[in-house]
């Protein structure tokens, strides 16, 4: 979070919604399913359960039923914060924000959800999908594992992967092995051989997250990875007055919303319970990746193309999940898309809040450097 204002914004989702709730600045309609933490780097590629590669929204940890205007405000704020962090003038960032809302509205107005995969993509997203689609599982295995005493193990570099104490490691391996025994149609010829604590993301730091290494009984050269991430309550739903469904667990909430909003879900997306906590399971793949916006400086055409795709995907996800458990129906979303009087309010709020994010970041960085967040 100390890296720059955009990283701070990504890691402080709860602050955004607490401030938005207090401001009472935006209309609370239409109510839709939202990912809850919409920003420029929460879209990316992944391999679906049909084994094809897609580009879509890819983080639903904060997912909830909420006003669409709240999701849009967070996304547009990320455009202001993210692009100005690249040194792009605020005037140009505003144009990108207007473009996002224009494409979003026109997609809603048509009332038909769309999706993006290599055959339907264009511009930078097409190049990105083609690039990641060529990656192979063996590259991921080579990057994340070591061979020790003729045994393939995870490479615990203490940067992304950390070793676990023996008792927790044994309990986790037993848990996943038993989970797969209940789902033999998934990976019946694989055995769990190792597990480590995984560090990934910005807002997810501090959450229990584990990476499992599985090896094939039939072909010792074949291996795969399973990601198991603890699911916590949504910070958005804690700030919203919109009634929420009763979920079996927080992981069940995350998976259900993801299944509703994505065109195709990632391979092995499921839930499990370990100890007192619920977890989201999914296969970790060599194709999973994000577009790093902070590496796109001076590539204005690429940025515009990607932002248009993100707007299309956001509207499509809301249309796809329309009329489910309290969400607005397709006709209400179409009407919202056709009536664009609300757009200026979102842009004005986002532009103002982006300045607050930068001020908050400066204060955070000052306290961080002073050792406020150090362990005692």
Task: Of 104, 1, 7, give the one whose Cα is nearest residue 346.
Answer: 104
Per-residue pLDDT reduced to its tens digit, 57-104: 999 999 999 999 999 999 999 999 999 988 889 999 999 999 999 999
What whole-number distance in Å separates Cα of residue 282 and Cα of residue 266? 7
Per the CB < 8 A criterion, the answer to whether 115 and 52 are in contact is no
Q: What is the DSSP letter of 30?
A: S
- Please state the separation of Cα 331 from the chain's center in Å: 28
> Which is higher by pLDDT, 30 or 340?
30
Q: Side by side, which strands form the sheet with 53-57?
A: 53-57, 43-47, 289-290
Confidence of residue 135 (pLDDT cuts 50, 70, 90): low
Per the CB < 8 A criterion, the answer to whether 93 and 266 are in contact is no
Per the CB < 8 A criterion, the answer to whether 293 and 5 are in contact is no
What whole-number distance in Å separates Cα of residue 125 and Cα of residue 44? 9
| Segment holding 225, helix H or strand E | strand 223-230
What whole-number distance in Å separates Cα of residue 350 and Cα of residue 69? 11
* Alpha-carbon radius of gyration of the chain: 21
Per the CB < 8 A criterion, the answer to whether 129 and 53 are in contact is yes
Per-residue pLDDT reduced to its tens digit, 202-211: 666 679 999 9
Among the residue ranges 26-30, 123-127, 130-134, 273-277, the one predicted with the least confidence is 130-134
The whole-number average pLDDT for the span 276-303 is 74
The whole-number average pLDDT for the span 161-183 is 94
Per the CB < 8 A criterion, the answer to whether 254 and 280 are in contact is yes
**193 forms bridges with which residues in the sheet?**
none
Burial class of residue 25 in the structure, from the number of CB atoms within 10 Å of its CB (0-12 exposed, 13-18 middle, 19+ buried): middle
- Report whether pLDDT(303) > 80: yes
The whole-number average pLDDT for the span 15-43 is 95
Task: Of 266, 297, 244, 240, give the one whose Cα is nearest residue 57.
Answer: 266
Q: What's this model's pTM, rounded to 2 decimal places?
A: 0.93
| Segment holding 55, helix H or strand E | strand 53-57
């Amino acid at each position: 979070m100390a890296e720059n204002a955009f990283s701070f914004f990504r890691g402080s989702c709860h602050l955004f919604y607490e401030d938005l709730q207090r401001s009472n600045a935006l209309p609370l309609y239409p109510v839709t399913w939202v990912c809850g933490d919409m920003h420029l780097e929460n879209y990316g590629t992944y391999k679906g359960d049909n084994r094809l590669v897609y580009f879509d929204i890819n983080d639903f940890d904060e997912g909830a039923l909420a006003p669409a205007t709240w999701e849009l405000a967070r996304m547009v704020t990320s455009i202001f914060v993210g692009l100005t962090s690249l040194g792009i003038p605020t005037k140009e960032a505003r144009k990108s924000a207007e473009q996002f809302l224009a494409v979003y509205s026109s997609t809603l107005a048509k009332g038909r959800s769309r999706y993006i995969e290599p055959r339907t993509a264009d511009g930078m997203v097409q190049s990105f999908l083609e690039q990641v689609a060529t990656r192979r599982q063996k590259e991921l295995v080579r990057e994340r594992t070591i061979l020790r005493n003729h045994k393939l193990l995870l490479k615990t570099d203490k940067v992304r992967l950390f070793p676990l104490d023996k008792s927790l490691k044994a309990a986790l391996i037993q848990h996943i092995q038993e989970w797969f025994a209940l789902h033999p149609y998934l990976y019946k010829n694989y055995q769990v051989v190792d597990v480590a604590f995984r560090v990934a993301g910005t807002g997810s730091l501090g959450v229990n997250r584990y990476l499992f290494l599985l090896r094939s009984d039939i072909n010792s050269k074949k291996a795969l990875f399973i990601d198991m991430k603890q699911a916590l309550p949504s910070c958005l739903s804690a700030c919203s007055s919109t009634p929420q469904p009763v979920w079996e667990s927080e992981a069940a909430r995350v998976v259900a919303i993801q299944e509703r909003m994505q065109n195709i879900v990632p391979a092995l997306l499921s839930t499990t319970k370990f100890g007192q906590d619920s977890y989201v399971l999914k296969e970790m793949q060599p194709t999973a990746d994000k577009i790093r916006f902070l590496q796109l400086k001076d590539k204005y055409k690429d940025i515009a193309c990607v932002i248009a795709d993100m707007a299309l995907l956001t509207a499509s996800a809301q249309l796809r999940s329309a009329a489910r458990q309290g969400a607005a129906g397709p006709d209400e979303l179409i009407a919202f898309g056709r009536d664009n009087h609300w757009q200026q309010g979102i842009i004005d709020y986002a532009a103002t809040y982006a300045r607050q994010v930068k001020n908050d970041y400066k204060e955070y960085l000052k306290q961080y450097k002073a050792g406020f967040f150090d362990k005692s």
